[in-house]
Amino acid sequence: MAKPADTRTAGRKPVARATRSVAETEKIRAALAARRDELRAEYDQTLSEITELQRDRLTDSAGDDQADTGTKTFEREQEISLANSIRERITQVERALERLDEGGYGWCERCGNPIPVERLAAFPSATLCVTCKQLEERR
């Protein structure tokens, strides 16, 4: 009995990977490194602000009622969530740099097809082509 075809790659022809010139690779690397550095600075600034706000909250909490305490807790959680989001974006950019070094940057991790240049311009750390990303989001 024949095995069923893999629905992710059925009907798709493997695409030969074109190699980038050294200049193109270095241009991409510089853009990714600059983005990583921007995100790190934003992350450091956010942590500094969180620390300062925490210090202020500790000294200015006398007489707080339950609503004040709840509001401060909510705000702290929002700030921490923002910092975690920035940290995740840093990780994505670092991963894109690794993929660039390994020759996999710009190629979909799921189907192996090239990721459109427009997608990479909008989201430089993309690891999936538009089709595979849409399929992932539907799940």
pLDDT at position 45 = 95
137 in Cβ contact with 128 (< 8 Å) = no
Backbone angles phi, psi at 5, to 5 degrees: -70, 150
Q: What are residue 114's DSSP bridge partners?
A: 107
**pTM of this structure:** 0.73
pLDDT at position 22 = 83
CB neighbourhood size of 47 (10 A): 15
> Is the pLDDT at 138 greater than 80, yes or no?
yes
> Is the pLDDT at 108 greater than 70, yes or no?
yes
